[in-house]
Structure 1
């Protein structure tokens, strides 16, 4: 028996066991209501109603107890649904969301406008900073939510994946890698002049670690906090950079090419909250919005 069936049962009692009137109230057929009663009593091997000459006239002792419990369940259910509707309609306030610059530029140019249009009562404050700074701000509760690149090195942070992609080697059409069809290994990069995002970006430290594991010392001669500057330099110079794959289509029309790296270089974005603290309905609502946005 589900909520709908509990409503059937209590409506019959409230209409003085008049099945015809109960069926009209419930907008179902009387034979359907009669069938429901019979099937439920047979299935549960109980008798809820006292019958006289084939008509329902009262509740049995078991039926009376069941009726009292059914009213309690329905009251709780109706309150639950009412609270849900109220929260959905009245949710408002200000929320501070931390986003690293590269993620903000690449992933959020559609997500943020859509959020603002759909939620005019919520003030979205974007804090743009590097991964380490955002993790510190999250721990100090200076921001409510942060979008961070995996791995997340700070304890007490809970996370959910929103985007799964990879980092790639980026170069111009005249570079020798244009003729490569498969993934590029770190040994292939050993003699390349490389420009990278600076140490405020998590991907910087991942790249350095991957070269170290491959026992290769890369020729890194320039670092910047602006991915568009790196892309522009690759466009005009015989150099390479390593960037998240979603960046490449955002730069310019067919001026840059990219190849995946082997071993596979994962680039995963997670939405993060501080663990073991109370999170308001507003925080949960915003988190759910962005998870659904990127899922769809």
Structure 2
């Protein structure tokens, strides 16, 4: 029995028993994978997989238990490697972050600037995708840490830590007639064509539900996957935009303004950190968690204690209460009322200072 055989079994389970994908993932041949699994079964004296001809079609009862044990063994093997790295290279290495578009674009930049200053020898790989993609990356052990709002809760394999709460806001071009409204209501907003997130994106379905609860049917003129696309079409005058607060406050300078008080129209969401349960993390990964969630009991995490057993604050701070997550000062430029808030530019350091240490991958 060897670790490679165990890795083949784990990969087969994770790839829905498709040995072609297993071979591609582990850079070997399909016949080699099949042979190694059979040799392991012979040594264990029971079959792990149910077969139909040469195809794997399921796990035997014994195989289901074996798969769980194998997953734990490989996780502890990875922890042993990390422990070695902790002592050999405490402040250098590679950190893989899986995050959704909003978190990668509008939350992580100021955090990663500070992180890179503290750990200049750590290379960061930032992988962007849907909430489901973030979960898959973590469960498969391909990311050290995940950052998302949806999908990360309710998984036995994952431990989650709330970072901050946030809401959606309304954005318009300067001079838009809604700038003159002092107390915006959903009924007023529903009279305009709306550009917002697709239902598949975090909070997208919740926006439609907010109108439905008020017995209103919004005119969703265009639904997009990310805030940058939404803002482009708002600039073109196609409609009023609804985006996440951080996309409004930390986005690029494009002349659009946020309607004051519009966040009260929508329900709150919570951005969370997710890590694989039971994983030993590198010291710098714990530091990133502290930067994202200063209230987190990182000492409990280091000792392997579940977050549920550690001390947590009575209330998680909102995005507005986290100046450490802001790119820079917010200028007021609502043409009619002088109270709209444009999207400020990211600091030059984000563009140049850490470019050599951060690799962004879009999925």
TM-score for the superposition, normalised by structure 2: 0.50
More helix by share: 1
Asked whether the 8 Å contact 1:190–1:218 carries over to 2, the reply is: yes
Aligned equivalent of 1:127: 127
Shift of 1:110: 2.4
Shift of 1:129: 0.8
What are the Cα deviations for residues 98-143 of structure 1, in whole angstroms up to 9, with x where unaligned?
1212222212222223322321332221111122221232233322
Aligned equivalent of 2:350: none
> 2:213 aligned with 1:213, yes or no?
yes
What are the Cα deviations for residues 198-231 of structure 1, in whole angstroms up to 9, with x where unaligned?
3442121221332333333221121222422321
Question: What does 1:71-86 align with in structure 2 at a 5 Å threshold?
Answer: none
More strand by share: 1
Work out the CA distance in 1 between the residues paired with 2:88 and 2:199.
Answer: 41
Aligned equivalent of 1:273: 275
Give the greater-gyration-radius structure (CA).
1
Distance 1:115 1:145, change over 3 A: same
Shift of 1:264: 4.3
Work out the CA distance in 2 between the residues paired with 1:280 and 1:115.
Answer: 16
SS at match of 1:173: coil
Shift of 1:286: 3.0
TM-score for the superposition, normalised by structure 1: 0.60
RMSD: 3.0
Asked whether the 8 Å contact 2:97–2:144 carries over to 1, the reply is: yes
Aligned equivalent of 1:185: 185
Question: What does 1:50-65 align with in structure 2 at a 5 Å threshold?
Answer: none
Distance 1:136 1:218, change over 3 A: farther
Question: What does 1:93-242 align with in structure 2 at a 5 Å threshold?
Answer: 93-149=93-149, 152-156=152-156, 157-182=158-183, 184-237=184-237, 239-242=239-242
Q: 283, 286, 293: which is aligned to 1:284?
A: 286
Shift of 1:88: 11
Asked whether the 8 Å contact 2:198–2:224 carries over to 1, the reply is: yes
Work out the CA distance in 1 between the residues paired with 2:201 and 2:210.
Answer: 15
Distance 1:200 1:264, change over 3 A: closer
SS at match of 1:160: strand
Work out the CA distance in 1 between the residues paired with 2:323 and 2:154.
Answer: 25
Distance 1:215 1:274, change over 3 A: farther
Asked whether the 8 Å contact 1:162–1:295 carries over to 2, the reply is: no
Shift of 1:257: 3.1
Work out the CA distance in 2 between the residues paired with 1:88 and 1:216.
Answer: 60
Work out the CA distance in 2 between the residues paired with 1:186 and 1:203.
Answer: 17
Work out the CA distance in 2 between the residues paired with 1:295 and 1:235.
Answer: 27
Structure 1 unaligned blocks of 5 or more: 1-82
Structure 2 unaligned blocks of 5 or more: 1-82, 296-321, 325-363
Distance 1:246 1:122, change over 3 A: same
SS at match of 2:217: coil
Distance 1:252 1:120, change over 3 A: closer
Aligned equivalent of 2:258: 257
What are the Cα deviations for residues 220-273 of structure 1, in whole angstroms up to 9, with x where unaligned?
121222422321321231511111123224332653232424444324322122
Work out the CA distance in 2 between the residues paired with 1:113 and 1:150.
Answer: 25
